[in-house]
Amino acid sequence: METHLEFNQLVRLLPILAQTTGGYAAITDNEGRRISTFDYNGQEITNLKGQIYELARKAAQEGKPLVGSSQIVDLADAWALPLGNFVLACSNVERLKREQKLQEAFKRALPMIAQVAGGEAVIFNEFGERIISYDSDGTERSQLKGRISKQALKAMESKEPVVGKSFSIHGAMAVRIPITKNFGFGFNNENASQRQQKLYEEVKKLQNTRYTFEDIIGESEALLKTKSMANFVANGISSILIYGETGTGKELFAQSIHNASPRRAKQFVALNCGALPATLIESNLFGYEEGAFTGAKKGGSPGAFEQADGGTIFLDEISEMELGLQTKLLRVLQEREVVRIGGLKPKKIDVRVIASTNKDLNVLIAEGKFRQDLFYRLNVVQIKIPSLKERQADIIVLARYFMLKYNASFGKAIEEIDLETIKILQNHTWPGNVRELQNCIEHAMNMVGRDDFELLPKHLPSYLRQRSTSVKDAVVLEIKPGSLNLGDALREAERKIIKEALQVVKYKKVKAAQLLGISTTTLWRKLCEHGLEDYLERK
């Protein structure tokens, strides 16, 4: 009789439970056989009587509450609770339906959200995978469907909004917001970012220079020191001589100095001394009068020095200038006046000279190919730009910068660089410096397929893959005379390798351990052994 009373009480409770949980409520026997089932409207569903509900049967068998799936509606959650000779089970079908309706409402509103936000709007699932996305003009971005965003996944896992950089457009910011445990939505401000970038480019066009110090990408100590020095001397009037290997960005530095100087509102005139024959360089530098030579323009033409009056003249590859022209250039620098070819009247000029070379001018002076007095005139302030092999910590920083840049250009959505790819990039000697690295990343982004989420070794140019080595091979150890001790040398080599690995992976300890082929425990111990405890705190 007691069991019968308990059963009747449970049956009376079922409609209330179904309505409260927003789904179905049922009572089964210990075999999982349905005795009575009610929906969220309080109606009994008689056609389910006698059916076996596996979740209820298993809960009775194990003698404990279980969570599982609804037998009636796919994707709905359910629970089963053993109560003596019976099992009480409920599902949240109505909540699932409400969630599906909510998701559909977000899908319909997505084009409007994109338009209001001024960028892309996207819905993603619990794995951070794109379900659907729209541009601000209402166009669906079907090519990005299925892409996984790590930031979106982070938002779903943390159940908190995540604000950060957009991986699809360089310079744009994005917000990812979890709505339910199954989906979330996000948006970015790429239109505003693109407008800002266009405005920035237009301003730079008006200045006749494209670059500022903000365009010089890198975090290494060597580069930061060089940028700091260049920025400091930008306010002066003295001539500057920039040394740097091919592809290090000598003109980028020259333009940045000009744009940081009081002369930024005036002209920046660049002349490549190695790209033109001597006769053309002379006429381009100093200008000419009408009739000075066959083909001379009527009325003559001002040269680079006159055009740059009040501003800056940049003489690239100054080492390639012929000795005869060097003499004339020296006179202009000494007298601060220029005489056009075929002319007699000197014209006073106020020009700051920045010259660059990828050769050692002292060697050229010793060989009689460069005037020593001109060297002293140009070399008032000397700036040496570090090569990429001198700033290895910047290789991956630059690679990621170019990757994001080409994401926008090529319509790709790459977020990460594979660990093996990082090793290949880090171990290359980069004779072409930043220019070579940029070309390699551009090549790689052209090779990326629709289903690729990160840059892989297969995307890189073949010559990089063929010459790749391990991180250990990239470390160069200098042994000074009188200090040739094997134990000390090995310890120093290990210390350098560990530091190098940490810089490659931006000080992430787990990744560094993987890169080195050791456990994280071993890595921590070795950091302490080598006096690198401060690296433990870096993030």
Q: How confident is the model at residue 122 (pLDDT cuts 50, 70, 90)?
A: very high
Query: What CATH number is given to the structural domain containing 49?
Result: 3.30.450.40
Residue 201 maps to a domain = no
Name the domain count of the chain.
Answer: 5
User: Each residue of 273-308: pLDDT tens digit?
Assistant: 877 677 677 888 888 887 776 656 777 888 889 889
Q: What residue ranges in 290-433 does DSSP mark as E strands? A: 312-316, 337-338, 347-348, 352-357, 381-384, 416-417
Residue in the structure block whose two tokens are 């401060």: 534
State the pLDDT at residue 170: 58
Tens digit of each residue's pLDDT (9 = 90 or more) over 443-501: 999 998 877 888 999 999 988 887 654 444 445 555 555 555 666 777 787 888 888 77
**Which tokens hold the place of 487?**
């134990």
User: Do 320 and 222 fall within a single domain?
Assistant: yes
On whether both 374 and 394 belong to a single domain, the answer is: no
Residue 198 lies in a domain: no
Domain range enclosing 495: 474-536
Pick the last residue of a domain from 41, 74, 91: 91
Q: Are residues 330 and 214 in the same domain?
A: yes
DSSP annotation string for 350-386 = --EEEEEESS-HHHHHHTTSS-HHHHHHHTTEEEEPP
CATH number at residue 226: 3.40.50.300
Give yes or no: residues 235 and 326 share one domain.
yes
Q: Please indicate, yes or no, whether residues 350 and 430 belong to a single structural domain of this protein.
A: no
What is the pTM (predicted TM-score) of this model? 0.57
Helices and strands (DSSP H and E) totals, the chain: 19, 19
- Longest CA pairwise span in the chain (Å): 127
Query: Using CA atoms, how far apart are residues 414 and 452, in angstroms rounded to an integer?
Result: 7
Residues 10, 156 within the same domain: no
**Pick from 336, 367, 384: which residue ends a domain?**
384
Indicate whether 220 belongs to any domain: yes
Same domain, 81 and 100: no
- 345-377 tens-digit pLDDT: 889 999 999 999 999 999 999 999 999 999 999
pLDDT in tens, 40-88: 888 998 998 999 999 999 999 999 999 988 887 777 788 999 998 899 9
Side-chain-side CA neighbours of 394 within 13 Å: the count stands at 21
Is 437's pLDDT higher than 50? yes
Shared domain check, 348 and 295: yes
If asked whether residues 139 and 236 sit together in one domain, one would say no
pLDDT digit string, tens, across residues 503-537: 777 777 877 777 777 777 778 878 888 878 776 66
Q: What CATH number is associated with residue 499?
A: 1.10.10.60
Mean pLDDT, rounded, for 317-322: 90
| Same structural domain, 285 and 212 | yes
Residue 263 resides in a domain: yes
Q: Please state, in angstroms and rounded to a whole number, the distance separating the CA atoms of residues 355 and 243.
A: 9
pLDDT digits (tens, 9 = 90+) for 144-203: 788 888 888 899 999 999 988 776 665 678 899 999 888 999 988 887 767 665 654 554
Rounded-to-integer distance, Cα 174 and Cα 389, Å: 34
Q: 376-392: per-residue pLDDT in tens? A: 999 999 999 999 989 98
Q: pLDDT confidence of 1, banded at 50, 70, 90?
A: very low
Residue 525 maps to a domain:
yes
Same domain for 216 and 362, yes or no, is: yes
Would residue 421 count as lying in a domain? yes
User: In terms of domains, do 248 and 348 share one?
Assistant: yes
Residue that finishes a domain, picked among 438, 469, 500: 469
Whether 199 maps to a domain, the answer reads no
